[in-house]
Copies of this chain bind each other. A is one copy, B any other.
Amino acid sequence: MSGFTEIIQKDLDQLEASIDELMSTRVTYIKEIVTYIIKSGGKRVRPVLVMLCSKLCGYRGKKHIPYAAIIEFIHTATLLHDDVVDNAKTRRGLSTVNTVWGNEPSVLVGDFLYSRSFELMSRDGNNEIQKTISQVTTALSEGEILEIVKTADTETTENDYYEIIGNKTAVLFGAACEIGAILGNKSNNERKALKNFGYNLGIAFQLMDDVLDYTSYNDVLGKRVGTDLNEGKVTLPLIYVLENTGDKYKAYIEKVVTKRRITKRDFERVRNIIEKTGGIAYTLAATEDHLDKAKKYLDIFPSSRYKTALLELADYMLKREM
């Protein structure tokens, strides 16, 4: 990603070996599919968080590597299931697993990754981590379902939106950071602080994702711009317009989000409305707010190069183009 991963580069290299080892199965078909998606250029943001937070908390063992792999497995499982749910065609510039192999393997290989994650955790037997992660995976599914319920709903409020992204994205960031505190045997206070750091970072990450879905380009984002609008996802940039322009655009936006397939012209028109009325600026400001909030949670930790790296990682969120 950037400079802040240099201090854990050796661990990140080991992570790739660990991923290969831990996904092992006698079913070669599973291995093929997992390799395809997990080696397709994911940014490993969540594993980086596990590692930096573990080191921030003085952890000197080796377990942060398999736990980082587990967090990436869970993330990958959600991607596989998301792509079935959204009927997505591309991810990170590559065809999705459901496009190449069909929905069936996407569902089942996702299940394999979830189960393997719990298998690995129960083998290690750290009950605190198990509790944390299993609560989070429940929340992930709840968040995804809330999102479906709110699909194409122009009455979606900011509160609804934050509840959705909190559950579908931020809780996993929170757990990734919390694992560091658990491994480092830190007090409840530090554990909560890292959880909140991760949660707010995750919110910012998703806000930025939702901005980029209107402003980025295909070749940078590795997915088509306008995906959210096409899938009827009413995200903050659009909610801002709906909540702040009376009924001016409501009927039109309603027409677009309920369409099965939007046109390029629809997308450009909605994007122009969002930009003109301040929906992008508003969402970027919300991103910054959450990053500031996240960073403040690190105040209780003494200075260290790991703290610096985490702060840099937070700043990177706003700069990222993918």
- Which residues of A come within 8 Å of B, CB atoms? 25-27, 29-30, 81, 84-85, 103-105, 107-112, 114-116, 118-119, 121-123, 125, 127, 130-131, 134-135, 137-138, 140-142, 144-146, 148-149
Contact = CB atoms under 8 A, between A and B. Distances in A.
B141 A108 contact: yes
B27 A148 contact: no
Number of copies: 2
Nearest to A122: B130
Nearest to A136: B115
A181 to B, nearest CB: 17
Nearest to A80: B107
Given A118-B137, A145-B27, A107 B81 contact: yes
Of the candidates A26, A116, A142, A148, the one having the most CB atoms from chain B within 10 angstroms of its own CB is A142
A142 B104 contact: no
A131 B142 contact: no
A9 to B, nearest CB: 31
Contact of A148 (B108, B116, B141, B145): B108
A178 to B, nearest CB: 14
A267 B105 CA distance: 27
A81 to B, nearest CB: 5
Given A29-B146, A119-B138, 14 more contacts: A27-B145, A29-B148, A84-B104, A104-B148, A105-B148, A109-B141, A111-B137, A111-B144, A112-B145, A114-B137, A115-B140, A118-B130, A122-B127, A123-B131
A187 to B, nearest CB: 21
Nearest to A142: B27
Nearest to A119: B134
A30 B142 contact: yes
B116 A138 contact: yes
A66 B263 CA distance: 51
A129 to B, nearest CB: 9
A134 B27 CA distance: 17
Given A111-B81, A119-B138, A105 B145 contact: yes
A127 B130 CA distance: 10
30 contacts: A26-B142, A27-B142, A29-B149, A30-B141, A30-B142, A81-B107, A81-B108, A85-B107, A103-B103, A105-B148, A108-B141, A109-B141, A110-B111, A111-B140, A111-B144, A112-B138, A112-B141, A112-B142, A115-B134, A115-B140, A118-B134, A118-B137, A119-B131, A119-B134, A119-B135, A119-B138, A122-B127, A122-B130, A127-B127, A130-B130
